[in-house]
Amino acid sequence: MAPSSVVVTIEKPNKFSLVEINGSDSTLLLEKQKAVSPKQFTWFLFLKANRVFACLSWLPMALKTMFLSVKKRIALSDVSEEEAKSRRLYRFIKVFLFISIFALVLEIFAHLKKWNLNMIQPWEVQGLFQWCYLTWLSFRVDYVAPLVLTMSKFCIVLFLIQSLDRLILCLGCFWIKYKNLKPRINGDAYDIEDGSSFPMVLVQIPMCNEREVFAQSIAAASQLDWPKDRILIQVLDDSDDGNLQLLIKDEVSLWREKGVNIIYRHRLIRTGYKAGNLKSAMACDYVKDYEFVAIFDADFQPNPDFLKQTVPHFKGDPELGLVQARWSFVNKDENLLTRLQNINLCFHFEVEQQVNGAFLNFFGFNGTAGVWRIKALEDSGGWLERTTVEDMDIAVRAHLNGWKFIFLNDVKVLCELPESYEAYKKQQHRWHSGPMQLFRLCLPAIVTSKISVSKKANLIFLFFLLRKLILPFYSFTLFCIILPLTMFIPEAELPLWVICYIPIFMSFLNILPALKSFPFLVPYLLFENTMSVTKFNAMISGLFQLGSAYEWVVTKKTGRSSESDLVALAERESKSLNEEKITRRHSESGLETLNKLKKQEEITPLKKRNRLYRKELVLAFLLLTAAARSLLSAHGVHFYFLLFQGLTFLVVGLDLIGEQIS
């Protein structure tokens, strides 16, 4: 019998196993140990398969839930005010859809019959239907195709011009990064020990029914690091809810008792929306004692050092009229809609605003998170109520009067993005109809102004026409009308570089300032094309002064910006001070107001629900119809683009993007 032996197996540097075997049994034992590995691998595969089946079982439940949600949404659907005011565009798209469906049925019939009408002579035609189809083909080639081809070439030229403009802006941004071109502060900083060396600053917070965020914005503004006797905060409340007015007054009183120089203003005659509110506040007698005014919307919360980062830029530069800061978003990762908005706005600030500010000293004022020299506002005519983009209006007039602007990309102010598609759509409608109103009103003043010819050309052709009119026009016309139309008119087919290569490249440029959003490149491209119908409709309504052009809807806030550390601390302090004040003043007005609000919410819950959007749904079916037609012609890229673009329109039309309300 063979002597016993010991086998030592070292698996890791600090770990070994001791196995005792006897002579000839060693080979059998090692073979047995080797046989364990396939068994473990089998269990590993079983575990993975179990997880896959769990996911597959979840998928039908998710689809069922989505189907029930869509079914309920359709049953409860109603026509929104915006849809009712834009029926012309909806009817046009609907007629176009019916014609496309009829053409698709005709093409499918001809395809099944295997008609090759290019090789059939007129006397070889059999039947009335085949004769009608041959007549349509002749008419299409001779009359329809040249017209569509001309339209497509015109839109392609506009598309290329706009793409070139965007490419130049990106190159300008790269140059700024490479050369480290940033606005510099001229002169010495203010003497911290001498408060009188600081200029007088007025802080304005216009708001209207901002129940979710008013306390946060007031708290953030009240904690701005500036000498108390050199700053005044105006809370400009246009709310029409009496209980909410009391709450805002109470919040202002809290900070006033804490030593903050803050006042509350409420207009009895609420005309002119935000412009009217700001105009009324600037008419106060004490405003003449102030040199600068900082403006923050109700959901914006500046850092305590905001004024110390912005106001010193005015020192030593008497021609500087505006210092604009960048926005940052607390809820950019809340849902797919906010992620896509973040891509757009990051490009707007990082590229458009920064490049225009660095090379032209002009850009559109963003309406908030900016500091104006009050003299620049007064020289430019002050706030006017003639459009829904009062911020762009005052910026253009100040530019015509020779004032310079600078943009601070490193100074960021926290705010929030619209989380529902309804709120985002209304915001975009206002942002794209207002510039066209303003262009009609400002064009004579631009032409007759004393600024240089190059600045006039920049204002008219780049600022207004190219970026505010041409962009929504070609986006909607080329990708939502002409592209599906060319599937039924193959003689006018769009080249691949128009529908694929250049759009993807431009989307890549757009996404560069927000590189973390790179996985959303394709959804961003599809969503931007989907939003073109809203932007086109808004542009037309503003240009021709249609009914919805002067509609102002306050963007719905959720109050998610309270997640920041600064505001959370301010809220805790505010709550403790509120309790102490109520006890000290022996007043229960605040408690009574809160109780009333709670009772109102219990008795009359908010009628908030997801909607259906008819224009988007009709366009979805139009694009899907065109995708089905492209299958007959074996168009690969065209088919996939139309398919995914149609599905994107369908998702947006069913309001499945953004906030979902159960």
DSSP state of 199: P
Q: Answer whether 55's CB lies under 8 Å from 62's CB.
A: no
Calpha distance 191→185 (Å, rounded): 15
Calpha distance 333→335 (Å, rounded): 6
Report how far apart the first and last C-alpha atoms of the chain are (Å, whole number).
79
How many CA atoms lie within 13 Å of 513's alpha carbon, on the beta-carbon side?
Answer: 27
Helix (H) or strand (E) holding 324: strand 320-329
Instruction: Calculate ∠ Cα 286-300-228, nearest 5°.
Output: 40
Catalytic residue among 238, 297, 393, 655: 238
Q: What are the Cα distances from residue 176, in Å, to 101, 152, 322, 590?
A: 51, 36, 20, 52
Calpha distance 278→510 (Å, rounded): 34
Q: Rounded to the nearest 5°, which phi and psi values hold at 203?
A: -110, 125
Estimate the share of the chain in helix, then strand, then coil, as percent rounded to the nearest 5: 65, 10, 25
Confirm whether 238 is a catalytic residue.
yes
Calpha distance 105→126 (Å, rounded): 19
Calpha distance 221→134 (Å, rounded): 72
How many CA atoms lie within 13 Å of 210's alpha carbon, on the beta-carbon side?
Answer: 26
The residue type of 40 is Q
Burial 146-159 (b: 16+ CB within 10 A, else e): eebbebbeebbebb
Catalytic residue among 237, 297, 299, 391: 391
Residue in the block written with tokens 């030229």: 157
Supply the residues annotated as catalytic: 238, 391
